[in-house]
Amino acid sequence: MPRILLTIVLPLILWVWAFIDCLTTPEDEVKHLPKVVWVIIVLLFPLVGSIAWLVAGKQRGALRTRPAGRTTGYPEYERPRGGRPLAPDDDPEFLASLKKDDKQHEDMLKRWEADLRRREEELRGRDEPEDGRKS
């Protein structure tokens, strides 16, 4: 059983993982050869090609380049200050947007309450008789 695991299952898992990794890696992160050549190498030489892809085919970690058009590797809402991402409760822009949303919700609630009072008054007016006496 251990021989089957070492000779068939683990290399098959390595090959599938390397093949999927090779296919999903962006073209700008592939090193030394074009991506199509790496895919062919991994397909034709499963064990050696997979190991070669993992060792030499892809930029990993700190060597990875930034995507074109972006100055940092962070999304806009996580702009780092001092080398760290900014927490939402420390971000003045985020807090201002919350205050703006709160104000909008409060205004909407006041309109709903006024509309509800008006409707209640209309219903009360319909229930009372024309001469003003209560039944």
Label residue 82 exposed, middle or buried (CB < 10 Å: 0-12, 13-18, 19+): exposed
- 10-24 helix and 35-44 helix, angle to the nearest 10 degrees: 160
For residue 20, the SS3 value is: helix
What angle is formed at CA 54 by the lines to CA 20 and CA 27, rounded to 5 degrees? 60
- pLDDT, position 111: 96
- pLDDT, position 1: 67
Closest CA to 49 of 36, 39, 35, 59: 39
- pLDDT, position 31: 83
- pLDDT, position 53: 84
Q: Are 50 and 19 in contact (CB under 8 A)?
A: yes
pLDDT per residue rounded down to tens, the chain (135 residues): 677 667 778 888 888 988 898 888 888 888 888 888 988 988 888 888 888 888 888 777 654 444 454 444 445 544 554 556 677 777 788 888 888 888 889 999 999 999 999 999 999 888 776 665 655
**Sequence-ordered list of residues with C-beta below 8 angstroms from that of 35, at least 6 positions apart, any chain:** 22, 25, 27
8-state DSSP, 8: I
**Exposed e or buried b for every residue in 9-44, given b needs 16+ CB within 10 A?**
eeeeebbeebbebbeebeeeebeeeebeebbebbee
- pLDDT, position 63: 47
Rounded to two decimals, the pTM is 0.43
